[in-house]
Amino acid sequence: IRRSRPPARSQASEIERTQRLIAYLEARAPEPHVVRHRLALRAGLTLAALERPEGLGLEAMVLIETAVQDILGIDRTELRRIA
């Protein structure tokens, strides 16, 4: 079995940005009661990982950004203005 190294830890600013993105998604997405489930599925992450973004690497942050874009139907420029 091949084991990979744990993801690089993200910086505090990236953690805060991820938290802002999730909060924005929860406020704007259709069906907010299932938005974290949708985000986890689209990003390929667990719900537990979304609860603790400090444990996510930078690659996971990109996956979250892309999933938020897809769910809200916005482009990266608009996403960067938001968070």
State mean pLDDT over 64-82.
Answer: 90
pLDDT at 23: 92
**Measuring CA to CA, which residue among 58, 47, 46, 63 is closest to residue 11?**
58
Residue 35, token pair as written in the block:
């938005």
State mean pLDDT over 42-57.
Answer: 92
- pLDDT over 70 (residue 46): yes
Q: 3-class DSSP state for residue 18? A: helix
pLDDT at 42: 96
Better pLDDT: 69 or 2: 69
- pLDDT over 70 (residue 78): yes
* Single-letter code of the amino acid located at 35: V
